[in-house]
Chains A and B, each alone.
Chain A
Amino acid sequence: MKAILAFEKGDAIRMVGHLDIMRAMQRALRRSMLPCRYSQGFNPHMILNFASALPVGVGAKEEIAEVTFDEELTAEEIFSALAPAMPTAMRLIKVRVVPDAHPSLTSLLAMADYEVELEPVPDAQKALDCLPAFCEKESVMITRKSKSGEKTEDVKQLIKSLKAENGRIYARVSATETSNLRADKLTNAILEFAGVKVAYRARRLSLYTSDGQPLWDM
């Protein structure tokens, strides 16, 4: 049977990379003593999939992962066994049992919301003030390193919405496997546009399907 889990990647562990978060989740599941399913073969591994990888430096309010069990369990059973086994900064938020035929989280995921908190220095206001101008720009090209060398892409094509509120930046961006805008790339593009250097903390808030439905509800 399958279940999806929502958990937090707290600010304290925002510097932890995706593979390490994966391993931490596997160990939490092992601590929970829940009957997780493992792959067959020479090197069996736990069947655990994340909706989306988070880069080093980005935290999350609500990440989603999918796990498969060998026995039938209720969401309550999973929650009560797993919640105390999670590291403090990786709090388990909720669990939902889904049908075995549930489409993969990565195939459903299309967009993500981010929040960016800027260090409270005078330059931060400058960055916030130029958001409207940034939004109006036709295109903002950035380069990113990929396996096949450097690639340039237009950040603006990947932004669905962008605004400032309470001194923070809020953005909805594309998050599919082929066109994904990382929060750090976006923030760096904004800061570069504003011509300032400001420290920031980015958090992913929630994940959506292509028609704007929360991924969790699917």
Chain B
Amino acid sequence: MNGVSWNAEKLLSQVEKPGRYTGGEMNTDVKEWDAARLHFAFCFPDTYEIGMSHLGMKILYEILNSQPDMLCERFCMPWIDMADLMRKENTPLFSLENRRALSDFDVVGFTLQYEMSFSNILEMLDLGGVPVLSAGRKESDAIVVAGGPCAFNSEPLCDFLDAVMVGDGEEVIITLSKTIADGRAEGLSRAEILRRLAKIEGVYVPSLYDVSYNDDGTVKSINAKDGAPEHVKKCVITNLDAAAYPEKMYVPFSEIVFDRIMLEIMRGCTRGCRFCQAGILYRPVRERSKERLIELADKLVKNTGYEEISLSSLSSGDYSCLPELAGELIEKFRKYRVSISLPSLRLDSIVKQTLEETQKVKKSSLTFAPEAGTQRLRDVINKGVTKDDLVEKATDAFMGGWSSVKLYFMMGLPTETNEDLDGIGDLAASVRDAYFSVPKEKRAKGLRITCSASVFVPKPFTPFQWAAQDSLDTVKEKQAYLREVLSKQKGVNFNWHEPELSYLEATFARGDRRMARVLYEAWKLGCRLDGWNESFSYENWMKAFESAGLDPDFYAARERPIGEILPWSVIDCGVTEQYLVREWKRALSGERTPDCRKGCQGCGLQRWGVCGK
């Protein structure tokens, strides 16, 4: 660890959780700075505990550092105290490895996981000494790029990002980095490098598109220029077994949110829930083979020392040989005292046998996500779960010794009425009854049911991309109503989300380029760490909308007519607009669409020849 300046040290002794900033974790690469021809700053725009938990960053960190001529170092958003001190003491945001300032890097890359981290991007750039606005960057300044799910609509970030990678990042991040390194070596201008980047499949360069607007604020036209493609196709890794996956993952000293081995068993989901953006963006479904997963698990257990492996994917219950995989993992690692957890279990796919095997090692709370309270509304959102399913699986779980259940719901879904909210209460009651239906001597003590209701946020590239979000007042009324409904259920806890945060999220999720101004104004007013109560200021965001002359309802609470040019239409996510329109119409008529594992539904990915289903 070189260059530990006294200046930085002084800051560390004054902040809470200084270990967030000092690095030195097991399995991190401190490469020699001068030996690399490309220096990549991998930035996670939220706190260390969240950033270090993110699987994508672990994957890409290792891919970049495995290139002999490249170096990748990590940055996370400093907490309020550290950010303020850095500014006060003139200490730039520095990397966890060589403690180099952000401005020392050739490429600054952000992962865009959720909209409410956007203000942190501006804050991190500014703290790191990189001009916040693309237009203000000089030839020698870092090229600022991004990827991740929100990269599919990065329009609200168009003033700050030079280039955006869309889709699976494993390969394109290397192509992009090489192109930048070569361009720099050849002495090309920034503009020339960006034009070259625009030629890479999956790379979107916002400055190479002109957008014009109608009088009503909707997009009139989007025109590509300087040879940029009319549509940017997302990148797809076709074979997960062949794709790079870290065999050693960094192990932070302090506890992080997901402090365990994450084994990505598959990518994508075939269920077709109509609210789910990830379900569309990560298509097609690709599985890692059981053999490859066991090989990876073995290396990761030995290289990390972690006590737990979680199988991660959008819908782990759909993995084709889940019982075999779970069984083998449990068997193989029991002697090392490693437990296996299955996080995003779907109600209709929990394998009883797996449940029984998992609990031999460890028992935790079980999560079900019915998402909506009535069958009618579940049909609208195409969530193929029935009340009987839920009761059956919950009963199984209670028989198996579980006593803590979490139920996830969304409120404000299209066509929702109070009847649907009543249904949430009914479901909670059914789960409670299921618990008491198990003989006393067979069930574990201390039933705990937690109902969480988030506010529905319509997202681009989903069948609900045209839908209006409920207004803030409606959401508040519904929350009060639901609180009332659930207060009648004994032993049921109710968690809800800040409606203001979901409202803002909705403005950015489907925002256009003009939203960049709102973001900039909000950041100037001090907005940052918006996902945190300590920092979130709704008032400042509203002021920012005002100074940008924009109405947040235009983005959040407006239903779009089919045919309107959507701000993100340059991006081709593989799923066609026709498919999304059909699904939107079917939703409104309460028609279900089957899982495409049971037969192709024609979403459009077969055009690319990447979907075997």
Q: List the interface of chain A (C-beta within 8 A of B).
A: 10-17, 20-21, 23-24, 26-31, 33, 38, 44, 56-57, 85, 87-89, 119, 199, 201
Instruction: Provide the residues of chain B in CB contact with A29, threshold 8 Å.
Output: 305
Q: Report the separation of the CA atoms of residues A30 and B307 in the bound assembly, to the nearest whole angstrom.
A: 9
Q: Report the separation of the CA atoms of residues A85 and B251 in the bound assembly, to the nearest whole angstrom.
A: 12
Q: Report the separation of the CA atoms of residues A27 and B25 in the bound assembly, to the nearest whole angstrom.
A: 12
Q: Report the separation of the CA atoms of residues A175 and B112 in the bound assembly, to the nearest whole angstrom.
A: 49
Which A-chain residue is minimally distant from B2 (CB atoms)?
A12
Could you say which of B22, B24, B30, B307 has the most chain A C-beta atoms within 10 Å of its C-beta? B24
Q: Report the separation of the CA atoms of residues A75 and B359 in the bound assembly, to the nearest whole angstrom.
A: 37
Q: How far is the CB of A61 from chain B (nearest CB, A)?
A: 16
Instruction: Provide the residues of chain B in CB contact with A21, threshold 8 Å.
Output: 253
Q: Is B6 an interface residue (CB 8 A)?
A: yes
Q: How far is the CB of B509 from chain A (nearest CB, A)?
A: 37
Which A-chain residue is minimally distant from B250 (CB atoms)?
A87
Could you say which of A15, A44, A85, A119 has the most chain B C-beta atoms within 10 Å of its C-beta? A15
Instruction: Provide the residues of chain A in CB contact with B68, threshold 8 Å.
Output: none
Residue from A16, A28, A88, A199 within 8 A of B10 (CB atoms): A199
Q: How far is the CB of B280 from chain A (nearest CB, A)?
A: 38
Q: Report the separation of the CA atoms of residues A87 and B468 in the bound assembly, to the nearest whole angstrom.
A: 51
Q: How far is the CB of A197 from chain B (nearest CB, A)?
A: 10
21 chain-A/chain-B pairs, Cβ below 8 angstroms: A10-B1, A10-B24, A13-B24, A15-B21, A15-B22, A16-B24, A20-B19, A23-B253, A24-B251, A27-B306, A28-B26, A28-B305, A30-B306, A33-B336, A57-B18, A85-B305, A87-B24, A87-B26, A87-B253, A88-B30, A199-B9
Q: How far is the CB of A70 from chain B (nearest CB, A)?
A: 12
Given contacts A30-B307, A119-B6, A199-B10, contact A15 B251 (CB under 8 A): no
A27–B26 CB distance below 8 A: yes
Q: Is B254 an interface residue (CB 8 A)?
A: yes
Q: How far is the CB of B387 from chain A (nearest CB, A)?
A: 35
Q: Report the separation of the CA atoms of residues A127 and B308 in the bound assembly, to the nearest whole angstrom.
A: 49
Q: Report the separation of the CA atoms of residues A29 and B305 in the bound assembly, to the nearest whole angstrom.
A: 8
Given contacts A30-B305, A31-B305, contact A12 B24 (CB under 8 A): yes
Instruction: Provide the residues of chain B in CB contact with A20, threshold 8 Å.
Output: 19, 253-255
Given contacts A20-B254, A44-B337, A119-B6, contact A12 B306 (CB under 8 A): no
Q: Report the separation of the CA atoms of residues A21 and B253 in the bound assembly, to the nearest whole angstrom.
A: 7
Residue from A17, A28, A33, A199 within 8 A of B6 (CB atoms): A199
Given contacts A20-B254, A21-B253, A56-B18, contact A88 B305 (CB under 8 A): no
Which B-chain residue is minimally distant from A120 (CB atoms)?
B6
Residue from B13, B253, B306 within 8 A of A57 (CB atoms): B13
Q: How far is the CB of B261 from chain A (nearest CB, A)?
A: 11
A12–B303 CB distance below 8 A: no
Q: How far is the CB of B373 from chain A (nearest CB, A)?
A: 37
A16–B9 CB distance below 8 A: no
B302–A31 CB distance below 8 A: yes
Q: Is B317 an interface residue (CB 8 A)?
A: no
Having A11-B4, A27-B306, A31-B26, one finds 6 other A-B pairs with CB under 8 Å, namely A13-B19, A15-B19, A17-B254, A23-B253, A119-B6, A199-B13
Interface residues of B in 1-57 (CB under 8 A from A): 1, 4, 6, 9-10, 12-13, 18-19, 21-26, 30
Instruction: Provide the residues of chain A in CB contact with B493, threshold 8 Å.
Output: none
B26–A16 CB distance below 8 A: no
A27–B305 CB distance below 8 A: yes
Instruction: Provide the residues of chain B in CB contact with A17, threshold 8 Å.
Output: 19, 254
The 4 closest A-B pairs by CB, nearest first: A27-B305, A12-B1, A30-B305, A15-B18
Which A-chain residue is minimally distant from B25 (CB atoms)?
A87
Which B-chain residue is minimally distant from A46 (CB atoms)?
B337
Instruction: Provide the residues of chain B in CB contact with A11, threshold 8 Å.
Output: 1, 4
Q: Is B304 an interface residue (CB 8 A)?
A: yes
Q: How far is the CB of A144 from chain B (nearest CB, A)?
A: 17
Q: How far is the CB of B590 from chain A (nearest CB, A)?
A: 49
Instruction: Provide the residues of chain B in CB contact with A57, threshold 8 Å.
Output: 13, 18
Instruction: Provide the residues of chain A in CB contact with B303, threshold 8 Å.
Output: 31
Which A-chain residue is minimally distant from B338 (CB atoms)?
A30
Which A-chain residue is minimally distant from B251 (CB atoms)?
A27
Instruction: Provide the residues of chain A in CB contact with B307, threshold 8 Å.
Output: 30
A12–B22 CB distance below 8 A: yes
Which B-chain residue is minimally distant from A88 (CB atoms)?
B24
A16–B254 CB distance below 8 A: yes
Interface residues of B in 98-120 (CB under 8 A from A): none
Q: How far is the CB of B95 from chain A (nearest CB, A)?
A: 13
Which B-chain residue is minimally distant from A86 (CB atoms)?
B26
Q: Report the separation of the CA atoms of residues A15 and B23 in the bound assembly, to the nearest whole angstrom.
A: 10
Q: How far is the CB of A148 from chain B (nearest CB, A)?
A: 24
Which B-chain residue is minimally distant from A15 (CB atoms)?
B18
B23–A12 CB distance below 8 A: yes
Q: How far is the CB of B427 from chain A (nearest CB, A)?
A: 33
Interface residues of B in 564-604 (CB under 8 A from A): none
B1–A16 CB distance below 8 A: no
Q: Report the separation of the CA atoms of residues A112 and B46 in the bound assembly, to the nearest whole angstrom.
A: 40
Instruction: Provide the residues of chain A in CB contact with B251, threshold 8 Å.
Output: 24, 27, 87
Q: Report the separation of the CA atoms of residues A14 and B24 in the bound assembly, to the nearest whole angstrom.
A: 10
Q: Report the separation of the CA atoms of residues A38 and B338 in the bound assembly, to the nearest whole angstrom.
A: 13
Instruction: Provide the residues of chain B in CB contact with A13, threshold 8 Å.
Output: 19, 22, 24, 253
Which B-chain residue is minimally distant from A199 (CB atoms)?
B10
Q: Report the separation of the CA atoms of residues A11 and B305 in the bound assembly, to the nearest whole angstrom.
A: 23
Q: Report the separation of the CA atoms of residues A24 and B30 in the bound assembly, to the nearest whole angstrom.
A: 19
Instruction: Provide the residues of chain B in CB contact with A24, threshold 8 Å.
Output: 26, 251, 253
Q: Report the separation of the CA atoms of residues A85 and B303 in the bound assembly, to the nearest whole angstrom.
A: 8
Instruction: Provide the residues of chain A in CB contact with B18, threshold 8 Å.
Output: 15, 56-57
Instruction: Provide the residues of chain B in CB contact with A88, threshold 8 Å.
Output: 24, 30
Which B-chain residue is minimally distant from A33 (CB atoms)?
B302
Instruction: Provide the residues of chain B in CB contact with A23, threshold 8 Å.
Output: 253, 255
Q: Report the separation of the CA atoms of residues A38 and B306 in the bound assembly, to the nearest whole angstrom.
A: 16
Q: Report the separation of the CA atoms of residues A13 and B25 in the bound assembly, to the nearest whole angstrom.
A: 9
